[in-house]
Amino acid sequence: MFNTDPMTSDESLDAAFSALAHPARRAILQRLAQGTATVNTLAEPFEMSLPAVSKHIRVLEKAGLIKREKDAQFRRCTLDVGPIAAIADWTETYRPIWDTRFDTMSKLLTELKDQSS
Amino acid sequence: MSDEQKWVRIEREFDAPIDMVWKMWTDPEMFRKWYGPNGMSVPTAEMDVTIGGTRKVSMLMQGADPARSMWFTGVYKEVNAPHRLVYTESMCDADGNIISPQAMGMPDSFPDITEVIVELRDMGGRTQMTMVHVGVPEGSPGAGGWTQAFDKLADLAASVAQAED
């Protein structure tokens, strides 16, 4: 169902975690789940300035959670569900981390064994 | 979310004796050398490897500006050297006070407490390791509150995926 990159790099994980940490940004994602919207539309339910909303949108965009059209006038936003789907299951976040750790452990064990022999 | 238990289970075989692999998990100096995922170092590893003993581990994200560190604490539940080790893990602050993963910027799906179970088997000089990392089941102390938020996130993902199909 999701063909997106499974969030294996720590930077992208970190960006997505940080982006999802803010209630306003989660609300923006909820709204975008109903369909593409302009920044103005997204700002409507919030008691905050347009630049403040734009800032949240930039954070979401940087985290890869939304995509924005290049059209400078409307800059419509669309939700990219890939990263959310990947981190919705915490086990899928941890599995690659453990795999990397055990690769390192394996190398370390080999080094230690070579030293002691 | 369904009732199914969520876990990560990884099996590995190492070309090293069982005592050496046990040391990887229980000697803080050794632990620090392998526990950091890509881009993370492990400045702190305090371990009282006895039943009921506490552990505290910090991970520092390299290259992040400002530097971001994460702290984890837990308790050893089973210590049967060199065969079986069970400990809990929760996010905490630098003083060891437990905080929810969400307050640390993790998504709502992350359980407050997880448990790591390590089993080692001597294969005659080689060692077979099974590691299970499991979320502490709903309803147990400290586990409340996150599934509801997770459901919302999962629904959100599902509804958008449906719309795209």
Give the C-alpha distances (Å, rounded to integers) separating A12 from A29, A62, A64, B8, B110: 17, 9, 8, 21, 17
Mutation for B interface: A9, A10, A79, most B CBs within 10 A: A10
Instruction: Indicate if the pLDDT at residue A58 is higher than 60.
Output: yes
A-chain CB neighbours of B126 within 8 Å are none
What pLDDT was estimated at residue A73?
Answer: 67
pLDDT single digits (tens) B95-146 = 888 888 777 666 666 788 899 999 999 999 999 999 999 887 544 433 333 3
| Contact status, residue A89 vs residue B6, Cβ threshold 8 Å | yes
Sign of CA dihedral B33, B38, B43, B47: negative
Give the C-alpha distances (Å, rounded to integers) separating B6 from A20, A83, B16, B147: 21, 19, 30, 12
- Interface pTM (ipTM) of the complex? 0.77
Q: Which of A1, A21, A97 sits opposite B37 (nearest CB)?
A: A97
Mutation for A interface: B109, B114, B162, most A CBs within 10 A: B109
